[in-house]
C-alpha cells in the first residue's frame, strides 16, 4: 500500500474513534440517566486515550514525516492534508497520553458538577471541579508553549493563528464604536416585544421549528433534532449531523433562533466533502468560520425582514391566538429589540458582543492566574455592571449560564464574535454575487444562498485557513466595517437613527 493510502487509512481509524466519542457525548447530553455519568466519563476517557495513542503512534508519525519532507508525487489536496497533519502532530505530541486521559476525566467531572450546580443554582458546587480544570488548562498551555500569552495557544485549537493582540484591537472597536451606537439606541423608546412572550405550547413550537429547519435545507435524512439544556450541534459524519434545541413555553424566540442558529452549524457539517472523511481537509476550517455560518443564518437571514415576509403567515397560522393581531412590522421590530440582558444566549445581536468581551477578559485572567476561580462570581458581576449596567439575579443567570468551561473549552468564546464579523462580510458578498437574493428569500427560497455557501465555504473543508478563505471570497481580510455597516443600517432604520 502506498504511504499516502496508509496515512489515510490510519486517519480514518482515528476518526471512527472520535466519532464513537461524539456519539457518547451526544447521548450524555440528550439521554444519559443520572447514574450513568461515572462510567460514561471512564468510557470517553478510554476512547480519547486510544485516539491520542493512534495519532501519536511512531509508525504514523514517521510516515507523515516522510510524506511531509518528500511530497513531490502528491496532489495539492494531498499536500495540504499532510501539512495539516504535521501541524496537528506538532501540537498534540506535546501532550502525553496520561495527561490527555486525566484532562478528559476532569472535563467529565466538571460537566456533571456544572449540571448539578445549575440545577441547585449554586456556583459553589462547580467551583472546585472548575478550579482543577483551570489548573490543568494552565498546565496544557505550558506544555504546548506560547510566545506572548498562555491564552494564545488555547485559542489556537479553535482559531489557528489568532492572538490576543489582534482580538484586543477588535474588542476595542466593540467597546468604543459599537458601544456608542448602542447607547444611541438606548435613548430611543424601548420596542414592545410582548408578542414573543405569551404562552406558546411546547408541541406546536417543536413542530414549527422542524418546518423551519426543513425550509432552509437541513437534511433530516442525515440528521435529527432533540432537546438539551444547552442547544448544540454534533456530527459523526457529513451524513449524520445532529442538533438540539430548548423550548420555553413563554418565549418562542428561544426555540426559533436556536433552531436556525444550530441549523447554520449543521448545514456547514452536512456540506463538508464526505469522500474526505477522516482527512484534515474533510473538516471545518475554524470555529470562527463555523460560527459565521450559524450567525449568518440566525441574524443576517433569520432576523431580517425578507425571511419573515416568507414565513410569518405560517407562524401566525400555528399560533393564531398569540400572533393573529400582530402585524409583520410589529413582529419584525420585536425580534430585533435592543436591550441589555444578563444572559448571553438571550441577548440581542449587538449587546451579544459585550457578553463575549466579558468572557474573553475573564478567561484570559483565569489562565494567566490573575483571577482565582474562587473570585469568579464577583468578577463576573463586576464585568456585567461595567459593560451592560446589569447584575445577574443568581448563579444560573450569571456565572453558571454557559456550558463551555465545563467542557474545558477555554479560548472558544472569542470565535462567537469573530463569527458575526465574518458572517456580515460573507453575507454582503453573497448579496453582490447572487442576483435578487433578498427577493428570493422573501419568497421562501433560501436555496441560492445555501448553494453559494456550499460552493464558497462548506465544500472547501480545511483547504485554506480562515484568513485566506475570507480573502478569497471577499477580496479582503476580515474587517469589522461590514458588521458595523450592517448593524447601523438595519437598526438605524428600526430605531429611526
Active site residue ranges: 262
Nearest to 25 by CA among 111, 84, 99, 134: 111
What lies within 8 Å, CB to CB, of 8 at 6+ separation is: 81, 278, 279
Q: What are the cell numbers at 175?
A: 467597546
180 neighbors 309 (Cβ within 8 angstroms)? no
Residue 364 and residue 356: Cα distance in Å, rounded? 12
Residue 300 and residue 310: Cα distance in Å, rounded? 15
Q: What are the cell numbers at 240?
A: 449524520
Pairing of strands 233-237, 240-245: antiparallel
424 neighbors 483 (Cβ within 8 angstroms)? yes
238 neighbors 283 (Cβ within 8 angstroms)? no
User: Judging by beta carbons within 10 Å of its beta carbon (0-12, 13-18, 19+), is residue 475 exposed, middle or buried?
Assistant: exposed
User: Judging by beta carbons within 10 Å of its beta carbon (0-12, 13-18, 19+), is residue 73 exposed, middle or buried?
Assistant: exposed
List phi, psi (to 5°) of 57: -60, 135
3-state helix, strand, coil in the chain (%, to 5): 70, 5, 30
Q: What are the cell numbers at 478?
A: 476580515
In the chain, the largest separation of any two C-alpha atoms, in whole Å, equals 70
Number of H helices, E strands in the chain: 22, 3
What lies within 8 Å, CB to CB, of 401 at 6+ separation is: 343, 344, 345
| Alpha-carbon torsion, ordered 481, 484, 487, 489, to 10 deg | -70
Nearest to 279 by CA among 71, 3, 9, 2: 9
Helix (H) or strand (E) holding 453: helix 447-456
236 neighbors 267 (Cβ within 8 angstroms)? no
Pairing of strands 233-237, 225-227: unpaired
Amino acid at each position: 500500500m502506498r504511504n499516502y493510502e496508509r496515512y489515510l487509512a490510519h486517519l480514518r481509524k482515528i476518526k471512527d474513534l472520535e466519532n464513537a466519542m461524539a456519539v457518547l457525548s451526544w447521548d450524555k447530553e440528550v439521554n444519559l440517566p443520572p447514574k450513568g455519568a461515572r462510567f460514561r466519563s471512564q468510557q470517553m476517557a478510554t476512547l480519547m486515550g486510544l485516539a491520542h495513542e493512534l495519532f501519536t503512534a511512531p509508525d504514523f508519525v514517521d510516515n507523515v514525516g516522510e510524506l511531509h519532507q518528500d511530497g513531490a508525487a502528491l496532489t495539492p489536496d494531498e499536500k495540504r492534508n499532510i501539512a495539516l497533519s504535521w501541524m496537528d502532530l506538532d501540537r498534540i505530541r506535546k501532550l502525553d497520553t496520561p495527561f490527555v486521559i486525566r484532562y478528559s476525566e476532569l472535563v467529565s467531572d466538571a460537566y456533571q458538577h456544572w449540571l448539578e450546580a445549575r440545577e441547585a443554582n449554586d456556583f459553589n458546587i462547580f467551583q472546585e471541579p472548575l478550579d482543577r480544570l483551570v489548573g490543568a488548562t494552565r498546565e496544557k498551555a505550558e506544555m504546548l508553549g506560547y510566545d506572548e500569552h498562555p491564552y494564545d495557544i488555547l485559542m489556537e485549537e479553535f482559531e489557528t493563528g489568532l492572538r490576543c493582540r489582534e482580538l484586543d484591537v477588535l474588542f476595542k472597536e466593540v467597546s468604543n464604536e459599537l458601544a456608542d451606537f448602542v447607547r444611541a439606541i438606548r435613548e430611543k423608546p424601548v420596542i414592545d416585544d410582548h408578542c414573543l412572550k405569551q404562552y406558546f405550547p411546547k408541541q406546536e413550537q417543536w413542530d414549527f421549528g422542524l418546518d423551519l429547519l426543513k425550509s432552509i435545507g437541513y437534511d433530516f435524512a442525515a440528521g435529527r433534532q432533540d432537546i438539551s439544556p444547552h442547544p448544540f450541534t454534533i456530527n459523526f459524519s457529513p451524513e449524520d449531523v445532529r442538533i438540539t434545541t430548548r423550548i420555553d413555553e413563554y418565549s418562542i424566540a428561544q426555540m426559533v433562533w436556536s433552531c436556525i442558529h444550530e441549523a447554520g452549524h449543521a448545514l456547514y457539517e452536512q456540506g463538508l466533502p464526505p469522500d474526505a472523511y477522516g482527512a484534515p481537509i474533510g473538516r471545518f476550517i475554524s470555529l470562527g468560520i463555523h460560527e459565521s455560518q450559524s450567525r449568518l443564518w440566525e441574524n443576517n437571514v433569520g432576523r431580517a425582514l425578507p425571511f419573515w415576509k416568507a414565513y410569518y403567515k405560517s407562524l401566525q397560522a400555528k399560533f393564531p391566538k398569540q400572533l393573529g393581531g400582530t402585524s409583520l412590522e410589529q413582529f419584525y421590530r420585536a425580534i430585533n429589540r435592543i436591550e441589555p440582558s444578563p444572559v448571553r444566549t438571550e441577548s440581542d445581536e449587538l449587546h451579544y458582543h459585550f457578553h463575549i468581551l466579558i468572557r474573553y477578559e475573564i478567561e484570559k485572567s483565569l489562565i494567566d492566574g490573575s483571577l482565582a476561580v474562587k473570585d469568579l462570581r464577583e468578577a463576573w458581576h463586576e464585568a456585567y455592571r461595567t459593560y451592560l449596567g446589569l447584575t445577574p439575579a443568581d448563579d444560573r443567570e450569571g456565572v453558571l449560564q454557559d456550558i463551555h468551561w465545563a467542557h474545558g473549552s477555554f479560548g472558544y468564546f472569542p470565535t462567537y464574535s469573530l463569527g458575526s464579523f465574518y458572517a456580515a462580510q460573507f453575507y454582503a458578498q453573497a448579496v453582490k454575487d447572487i442576483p435578487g437574493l433578498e427577493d428570493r428569500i422573501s419568497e421562501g427560497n433560501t436555496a441560492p444562498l445555501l448553494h453559494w455557501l456550499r460552493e464558497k465555504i462548506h465544500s472547501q473543508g480545511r483547504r485554506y485557513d480562515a484568513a485566506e478563505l475570507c480573502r478569497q471570497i471577499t477580496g479582503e481580510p476580515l474587517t469589522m466595517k461590514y458588521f458595523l455597516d450592517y448593524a447601523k443600517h438595519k437598526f438605524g432604520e428600526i430605531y429611526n437613527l
